[in-house]
Amino acid sequence: MDVEFAVRANGLGVRYRRGWAVRDCSFALARGTVTALVGANGAGKSTLLRVVAGLQEPTGGTVGTRGQVAFVAQDKPLYRSFTVAETLRFGQAANPSWDRAYAERLVAEAGLPPTAKVHSLSGGHRARLALVLALGRRPDVLLLDEPMAEMDPVAREVTARALMLAVAETGLTVVLSSHAVGELEDVCDHLLLLDRGAVRLAGEVDELVAGHRVVVAPRDHDFGAHEVVSARAGERQVTAVLRVAGDLDLAATPPGLTELVVAYLRSGEAA
C-alpha cells in the first residue's frame, strides 16, 4: 500500500439481505487528514465505518488500513457499572499502546469526575469518555460514528480541539460521520459523501468548495457544461448550486460546506 495513505478502499461493497448498503466505494485517505463522512439516513455510513474498522467483512472489494485502528460506534459501548477511573484502567489493561498520562489529561479536560459511574454520566459525557478510551490507545486511524451528536456546543469545541491536536501531534487520521455538517466545518479538511451506498463526492474541502458555485439566474437559463447539482426555482429565478466546468459568466459565490453537502443530499433525494 502507498506510504502516505492511512485508509484505502477499492470497489468496496456490502450487501445485506435487502440490498447493497455500500456499493463500489473507492477512496484513499491520506495520513493526518480529518474526513467528514456524510450522507442521508441509511446511506451506509455506519456500515462503511464498520468495514474499515475490520468489524465486518465486505461482500466485495478490498480495504486496507495503516497502523492501529480505533472505532467508536454510534451507541458508545462502555461498561455502565464502571467508574470513569475504572474505565481508564480497563483501557490500560486491554491496550498495550495505552498512553495513561494522555488519557488522564483528556478526562480532566472533559471535566469527567474519576469516581462517577458510567451509567450516571450524561450522553455527551459518555461520548467523551468513549472518545478518551479510543484516543488513549494512541491509534493511527480513528473512526468515529456520530461522535458529537449528544455533545453541547462547548463539548464539541473541546472535542474538536483534542482531535486536531492529536492529528497535529501524531499524524492521526480521523474519519467522523455526522448529520450536522456545520459542526464539522472547522475540524474536517476532507469530505466523503455517500448517496445510497455509493461515493457521490470526495476530496479536499477547499478544492470541492472551489469547484462549485451558487448562482441566481433566470428560470430558463441554460447552464451549458456546468453540472446543476441542485436547483430551487422561484417565480422568475432559479438559485442553483453548480459544479463548474471552466469559466462561469454569471455572478456567483462559493458555497459553504453545509450548503454544498445539502445540495448533494437534495440531488440524491430527487433522483
Ligand X SMILES: Nc1ncnc2c1ncn2[C@@H]1O[C@H](COP(=O)(O)OP(=O)(O)OP(=O)(O)O)[C@@H](O)[C@H]1O
**Contact residues: ligand X, CB under 6 A:** 16, 21, 39, 41-47
CB of 169 to ligand X, least distance (A): 29
CB of 251 to ligand X, least distance (A): 36
Residue 217 dihedral angles phi and psi, to the nearest 5°: -140, 165
CB of 98 to ligand X, least distance (A): 29
Residue 53 DSSP label: T
CA 159 – CA 151 distance, rounded (Å): 9
CB of 70 to ligand X, least distance (A): 18
CB of 196 to ligand X, least distance (A): 9
CA dist list (Å): 55 to 43, 49, 109, 240, 245: 18, 9, 30, 40, 40
Q: Is the torsion defined by CA of 14, 20, 26, 28 positive or negative?
A: negative
Sheet holding 252-253, edge to edge: 227-233, 237-243, 212-218, 252-253
CB of 87 to ligand X, least distance (A): 25
CA 65 – CA 215 distance, rounded (Å): 40
The C-alpha cell 495503516 sits at: 66
Q: Which is nearer to ligand X, 42 or 182 (CB)?
A: 42
The C-alpha cell 491509534 sits at: 139
CB 236 within 8 A of CB 219: yes
R_g (Cα) of the chain, nearest Å: 20
β-pair partners for 195: 198
Contacts of residue 250, defined as CB under 8 A and 6 or more positions apart, other chains included, come to 213, 215, 217, 221
Q: Which is nearer to ligand X, 43 or 69 (CB)?
A: 43
CA 74 – CA 7 distance, rounded (Å): 20
Q: Which is nearer to ligand X, 46 or 173 (CB)?
A: 46
Other C-beta atoms lying within 10 Å of the C-beta of residue 119: 11
CB of 190 to ligand X, least distance (A): 18
